[in-house]
Chain A
Amino acid sequence: AQTVTQSQPEMSVQEAETVTLSCTYDTSESNYYLFWYKQPPSRQMILVIRQEAYKQQNATENRFSVNFQKAAKSFSLKISDSQLGDTAMYFCAFMKQNGNQFYFGTGTSLTVIP
Chain B
Amino acid sequence: GAGVSQSPSNKVTEKGKDVELRCDPISGHTALYWYRQSLGQGLEFLIYFQGNSAPDKSGLPSDRFSAERTGGSVSTLTIQRTQQEDSAVYLCASRLNRASTDTQYFGPGTRLTVL
Where the two chains meet, the residues of A that have a C-beta atom closer than 8 Å to any C-beta of B are: 4, 6, 33, 37, 42-47, 50, 52, 91, 93, 95, 97-107
Query: What residues on B are CB-neighbors of A45 within 8 Å?
Result: 91, 93, 106
Query: What residues on A are CB-neighbors of B44 within 8 Å?
Result: 104
**B83 is an interface residue with CB less than 8 A from chain A:** no
Instruction: Find out whether the CB atom of A101 lies under 8 angstroms from the CB atom of B45.
Output: yes
Interface residues on B, range: 20 to 34
- Return B95 CB to nearest CB of chain A, in Å: 8
Instruction: Find out whether the CB atom of B108 lies under 8 angstroms from the CB atom of A44.
Output: yes
Within 8 A of A (CB), among B58-115: 58-59, 89, 91, 93, 95, 98-100, 102-104, 106-109, 111
User: In the complex, what residue of chain A is closest to B6 when comparing beta carbons?
Assistant: A43
**Extra inter-chain contacts (4) besides given A6-B42, A101-B58, CB under 8 Å:** A43-B109, A44-B106, A97-B100, A99-B31
